[in-house]
Amino acid sequence: MELFFCFDRKRTALAKENNRQFAHYTTAETAMKIIKGKSLWLRNAAVMNDYSEIAYGRDVLEPVMDCELGDRFYKVLDAVQEGAADEVKRRHSNHRRNARETVFMASLSEHETGNKLGQLSMWRAYGGPVAGVALIFRREVTELEPKIDLGISASPVLYGEPDDFVQEFHEMVLLLEKEIEFLKTTDPELVINFAAYVLQVAMYTIKHPGFKEENEWRIIHRPYEFPSAHVKPVTVTIGGIPQAVYELPFHKPETDLLFDIPELDLNRILENVIIGPCLYPETIFRAFLNEMTAAGIERARSRIIFSEIPLRQQG
């Protein structure tokens, strides 16, 4: 993990140093369902807000893998086991063709502790008569390691052009080359799995620099490759579009012992709920107060905040 995911390590350390929390922006309706159902919805990449999801990452990644830096990466793999590079290429090619249909994600944005306003750009995306809400999670939410296997990973987004990705990829290749003797002592299949996985994650987590202010992290689930009995598909309607989502459960042992996940207790990890600029903030406040109380979230009233950011919404 430390060798293949050095960018993740840097971003994790930076978030910890800056004491960042994480915000999940969504509509008030969806946020209410998340709290009531005690589960976070992971949506298919093909229907997420940014129409270029995955396509941009793929376009940035592929030229790098076909150049000298990619050759060095594959050379390390073949040094571990002959034919390892071809196996990683095969897996990557297959995954590249099917990524949009087989990857389910949720987005979290880094949130400055104490920020009671939220991000203007996000309120513009989630506002108006439907109202937007930000669920603010405590910093450790991206580092939690539940005892049960949820088949979930959390990775930060790299915003930039191909040169920005080259810089980060080059750093990883240097580490792999430096530790090649160590890699030779490990199970070759483990190395192959990590190598294929890091290329897949890169496709999902490279975004155009125009989105940089979002400071996004992605919660990723690949149910066809790594199914989990705890993360189940349901059909919901979002924005008028019926679609399958996977529910990442929070702690709810009263529903099923499968969901006895104390590390993901909403009462523990949910810091605040910020109600964004909207037409009926008091009505939304009362609804969230009732639902959070019913969900066993203590001090619900003090956890709900009104964003006072000045944004005119259209009725």
Q: Label residue 313 by pLDDT band (50, 70, 90).
A: low
Task: Convert the pLDDT of each residue in 159-183 to its tens digit.
Answer: 988 899 999 999 999 999 999 999 9
d(CA 269, CA 314): 33
Q: Label residue 314 by pLDDT band (50, 70, 90).
A: low
> Helix 55-65 crosses helix 84-102 at what angle (to 10 degrees)?
170
In a domain, residue 88? The reply is yes
Task: Convert the pLDDT of each residue in 39-57 to its tens digit.
Answer: 999 998 777 765 566 788 8
In a domain, residue 315? The reply is no
Task: Convert the pLDDT of each residue in 74-116 to its tens digit.
Answer: 999 999 999 999 999 999 998 888 777 788 999 999 999 999 9
Q: What is the DSSP letter of 278?
A: B
Output helix, strand, coil percentages for the chain, rounded to the nearest 5. 50, 25, 30
Q: Label residue 122 by pLDDT band (50, 70, 90).
A: confident
d(CA 138, CA 302): 16
Domain membership of residue 73 as a residue range = 6-306
Token pair for 79: 């040094």
Quick one: average pLDDT of 196-203?
92
In a domain, residue 313? The reply is no
Q: Quick one: which of 104, 96, 89 has its CA closest to 58?
A: 96
In a domain, residue 311? The reply is no
In a domain, residue 126? The reply is yes
Contact 59, 161 (CB under 8 A): no
Beta-carbon neighbour count of residue 168 at 10 Å?
Answer: 16
**Residue 191 identity:** V
In a domain, residue 314? The reply is no
Q: Quick one: which of 144, 141, 122, 142 has its CA closest to 133?
A: 122
Residue 125 has a pLDDT of 77
Number of domains comprising the chain: 1
Residue 303 scores a pLDDT above 90: yes
In a domain, residue 241? The reply is yes
Residue 155 scores a pLDDT above 70: yes
Residue 256 has a pLDDT of 82
In a domain, residue 166? The reply is yes
Contact 238, 30 (CB under 8 A): yes
Angle at 4 between CA 187 and CA 225, to 5 degrees: 70
C-alpha 150: how far from its chain's center?
14
